[in-house]
Structure 1
């Protein structure tokens, strides 16, 4: 296995930032219930959705970045860079968690809306604020919409040993990830959350997409690439996507669902998101397969100006995600206080995306100013 060759082939792939930007926008829209704009997100048309895309690309890009550091400067330096990133993610989670629960508590008290505390999974905030904060520091609290960042932080914390083995025995690491996935589903392994229940995204299962992304980045791209041109696999993939669309629509519209046998409908509804059902993993892999077939790395359309905001949001994924989580709460509450009309829903969604995009451009500009300032001193 030539890791250098794989890293060179995957370097400067604009598709990664583009689709990470799409994932961030989609997560924001999906986090606003009863919003007309979230009808356009991927979760409505198949088994997988924005969370799957976010975790997969995060694993892919993390493997590329830190494997390159390890090859150039050694494993110890690479491991320290990984744990620096883990600290950044953890700090972002804690800051966002604190702002989140303080805002929710304030809104609930100011507007006499105690139900919002239960809705956002911080039921113990009033009676046990210290315990909520303490368990939050241990990633054991589960406020609504912070689950993806919570999962991402934990997965990154284990990236160093995963990458060490991946760079030596990539296929063995992938097999181990699959074994852990199936074992977790069979033995019902998961982490407990406070005050009750389990993690919404079971890390023992969701690690599969993260490791799959890393595996493809370091060794699997060439093998995967050879399958893209297969007509048989392409048509089988399209058939499965149509089947997933039908099952998803059948779950959303009872009248349409009556056209299918009950046993078939019950097998896919409700969609097992917590433990990442195998049919969900397969759906995501097929989506990646089909999209990669049509959208190649050097596609001219990727450089169209219309895609620049998405690419920029992908480049600044962490702050954009954090801002999106907070804005989704503000948007949800704003719609609750207002008429909740279609026009209001569109205004909230578009305004949120505009703010996220502004934040991405500002952070990118600010980083560029810091670079120029450093160069001016040299």
Structure 2
């Protein structure tokens, strides 16, 4: 995996210099700054692949329970697709904007990050508006107020003026719209994170861990409207985002020996198996005796809002095993069968927003038709195909815009939001 922290290899002069090359390389890696010039600018397709997979899994999890639900991560361990999405977001954001901070300076990089934050915020507001219109239309047309109550917009219908202001402040969110506000807040602090990592990467990660610990000790949280707290507490979930940034800026490279150790592999496999056994007891009560009473009292509840340690550890174990067996030169990454996932991962913001819209549409159809497993599967697969089609369309349009820009036709590139 090529990251920003990879040093630029120097060509040895001759003879003895060649013999000491491994020693010089080791010293160069140890002395490399947190943000250094990348050895290459190749796209990491594994990140696109798993971000696309996370988007598909989030969409399926947002639908009512169906046959395909049993193919999502949350049924077989403590973590789910949200951890994948946030980690990869931190990784890719640090890679892109870390390079901008190195090449163009802190001020320019900060401006670019804030521009991206604004784009995500506009997307959130747009999605909020469309989502409200979709729910309100369905609830009114079919004279079923339960849709409004179930999707969490009753307060909007009672006090639309106050609720809209709270939505603009990211404090009011209907069901399934919690990830983007978290992402906006995390991206807002990315300039500070990158600046600190440019100074001391490991210390920055240590500060993130300290904030996570303080959050659990003193119950830090952000309040939501009209009551309650954020479904994803930014004070806790920042750890996963910062850890992704730390890995991108050289941390993954420095952990290479640990990840390659057979001891690490077996510890991860043992933990994944243990979490699988615990998860099975949630769905099959007759297996309750598998988990000792003292272990249950210690581990429960496994809190998603504050990113429970068990969830974080489960994600780390999954990531360690995946990186070990799925290398970045794996031929399958160029397979046409995985192309839909990669395309969706490359256009994650648009596909996430589309997935939220499609999830409610599928929920509505299932509620009105009361179909069986076949209809559930059909709706899930149809939604995935629509997401793939949209990603392919966006990719084609951007490719066409880039070609026009190279031919000296900037008009289409401007329409595509390029530049």
How does the TM-score come out when normalised to structure 1?
0.97
Matched, 1:215 2:256: no
Q: Following the alignment from structure 1 to structure 2, what is the Cα–Cα distance between the partners of residues 69 and 248?
A: 43
Matched, 1:50 2:87: no
* Residue correspondence of structure 1 range 261-272 to structure 2 within 5 A: 261-272=292-303
Q: Indicate conservation of the 8 Å contact 1:61/1:214, yes or no.
A: yes
Match of 2:71 among 20, 40, 64: 40
Q: Following the alignment from structure 1 to structure 2, what is the Cα–Cα distance between the partners of residues 338 and 106?
A: 18
Match of 2:255 among 224, 229, 232: 224
Q: What does residue 351 of structure 1 align with? A: 382
Alpha-carbon deviation of 1:192? 0.6
Alpha-carbon deviation of 1:250? 1.1
Larger radius of gyration: 2
Matched, 1:64 2:91: no
Q: Following the alignment from structure 1 to structure 2, what is the Cα–Cα distance between the partners of residues 6 and 344?
A: 51
Which consecutive segments of 4 or more residues in structure 1 shift more than 6 A? Answer: none
Q: What does residue 150 of structure 2 align with? A: 119
Q: Following the alignment from structure 1 to structure 2, what is the Cα–Cα distance between the partners of residues 182 and 142?
A: 27
Higher relative contact order (CA 8 A, sep 6+): 1
Alpha-carbon deviation of 1:263? 3.3
Alpha-carbon deviation of 1:249? 1.1
Q: Indicate conservation of the 8 Å contact 1:142/1:199, yes or no.
A: no
Alpha-carbon deviation of 1:247? 0.9
* Residue correspondence of structure 1 range 168-207 to structure 2 within 5 A: 168-207=199-238
Alpha-carbon deviation of 1:268? 3.8
Match of 1:299 among 324, 330, 334: 330
Alpha-carbon deviation of 1:146? 0.8
Q: Following the alignment from structure 1 to structure 2, what is the Cα–Cα distance between the partners of residues 197 and 158?
A: 24
CA-based RMSD? 1.5
Matched, 1:259 2:282: no
Q: Indicate conservation of the 8 Å contact 1:147/1:201, yes or no.
A: yes
Alpha-carbon deviation of 1:260? 2.6
Q: What are the Cα deviations for residues 54-110 of structure 1, in whole angstroms up to 9, with x where unaligned?
A: 000000000000011111111111111100100000000000011111211221122
Aligned residue for 1:306, secondary structure, equals coil
Q: Following the alignment from structure 2 to structure 1, what is the Cα–Cα distance between the partners of residues 37 and 209?
A: 22
Distance verdict in 2 for CA 1:42–1:7, change over 3 Å: farther
Matched positions, count: 378
Distance verdict in 2 for CA 1:266–1:115, change over 3 Å: farther
* Residue correspondence of structure 1 range 10-159 to structure 2 within 5 A: 11-159=42-190
Q: Indicate conservation of the 8 Å contact 1:6/1:218, yes or no.
A: no
Unpaired stretches in structure 2, ≥5 consecutive residues: 1-31, 410-419
Q: Indicate conservation of the 8 Å contact 1:181/1:205, yes or no.
A: yes
Distance verdict in 2 for CA 1:6–1:243, change over 3 Å: farther
Alpha-carbon deviation of 1:223? 1.7
Q: Indicate conservation of the 8 Å contact 1:82/1:156, yes or no.
A: yes
Q: What does residue 325 of structure 1 align with? A: 356
Distance verdict in 2 for CA 1:11–1:174, change over 3 Å: farther
Alpha-carbon deviation of 1:339? 2.3
Q: Indicate conservation of the 8 Å contact 2:36/2:102, yes or no.
A: no
Alpha-carbon deviation of 1:10? 8.0
Q: Indicate conservation of the 8 Å contact 1:6/1:217, yes or no.
A: no
Matched, 1:313 2:344: yes
Match of 1:373 among 376, 380, 404: 404
Greater alpha carbon shift after TM alignment, 210-219 vs 8-17 = 8-17
Unpaired stretches in structure 1, ≥5 consecutive residues: none
Aligned residue for 1:8, secondary structure, equals coil
How does the TM-score come out when normalised to structure 2?
0.87
Q: Following the alignment from structure 2 to structure 1, what is the Cα–Cα distance between the partners of residues 77 and 39?
A: 33
Distance verdict in 2 for CA 1:20–1:106, change over 3 Å: same
